[in-house]
Amino acid sequence: MGFFEFIFKKEKSLLDKEREEREKIRAILETKLNEYNFSKMEKKEVFDVVEIAEANIRNLKDTLIGVDKNDPASEHIVKRVSEEIAEIQKEMSENIKLKVKEIRIRKENYKKELE
């Protein structure tokens, strides 16, 4: 196996792990939303929050392309991006909770209107 094949295989493995982790989290979230009897459209509202956060995280990671993560001079850039990713993940979690709460309240109000 050549050097570039090794690097490509390693990166592919990391991407696969990341994708598997994302799918696992989505499955857990979907199960929880099903417990709340969310419709397909309501689930989409929640997953839109996730997709926006994931896009922002991908953009941040893309800023690291070409940055030597082992170079001490790049350490502050990597640290800043890591902190921003952590902040986006925290905001995503809060936004998911808010969206779920908003939908549940909307459903309750709709039921009250029908009564």
Which pLDDT tens digit goes with each residue over 79-99?
A: 999 999 999 999 999 999 999
Instruction: Give CA–CA dist 3/50, Å, rounded.
Output: 36
Contacts of 99 (CB under 8 A, 6+ apart): 45, 46, 49
DSSP category for residue 73 = G
Q: Are 99 and 49 in contact (CB under 8 A)?
A: yes
- Dump pLDDT digits (tens) for 8-52: 555 566 677 888 888 998 999 999 999 999 999 999 999 999 999
Burial class (CB in 10 A: 0-12, 13-18, 19+), 23: exposed
Contacts of 36 (CB under 8 A, 6+ apart): 100, 103, 104
What is the percentage of the chain residues whose pLDDT exceeds 70? 88
Whether the full predicted model's pTM is greater than 0.95, yes or no, is no
H helix or E strand, kind and range, residue 2:
none
Maximum pairwise Cα distance, the chain: 70
Indicate the average pLDDT of the chain: 87
